[in-house]
């Protein structure tokens, strides 16, 4: 699988154009759905996923907010990010 770097330091796109946190198998949308479902702050996300740095988490959230319309299209209605 090849990865494409983005202007977000910790975010790469896989072959299908799905944004992932660099160096992990976590998709940006997975982190966003957890934030939405549980109301977790970046610090709580870091506590729950100690292998992610706060920089990676903030970069993923920034990527999401900058691409929200596009990423929300891939969320099943029952999972709904906010």
Output the pTM of the full model: 0.84
The secondary structure of the chain in percent helix, strand, coil, rounded to multiples of 5, reads 45, 10, 45
What residues are paired with 13 via a beta bridge? 4, 19
The CATH number of the domain holding residue 42 is: 1.10.10
pLDDT, one tens digit per residue, over 25-65 is: 999 999 999 999 999 999 999 999 999 999 999 999 999 99
Residue 53 lies in a domain: yes
Note whether residue 78 is domain-resident: no
Place of tokens 């154009």: 17
**Where in the sequence is the domain holding 39, given as residue range(s)?**
4-72
Does a structural domain hold residue 77? no
Structural domains in the chain (count)? 1
Residues with Cβ within 8 Å of 37's Cβ and at least 6 positions away in sequence, in order, are 79
């Amino acid at each position: 699988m090849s990865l494409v770097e983005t202007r977000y330091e910790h975010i790469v796109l896989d072959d299908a154009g799905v944004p992932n946190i660099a160096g992990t198998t976590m998709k940006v949308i997975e982190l966003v759905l957890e934030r939405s479902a549980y109301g977790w702050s970046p610090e709580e996300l870091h506590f729950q996923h100690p292998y992610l740095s706060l920089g990676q988490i903030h970069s993923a959230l920034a990527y999401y907010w900058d691409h929200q319309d596009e990423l929300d299209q891939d969320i099943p209605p029952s999972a709904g990010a906010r």
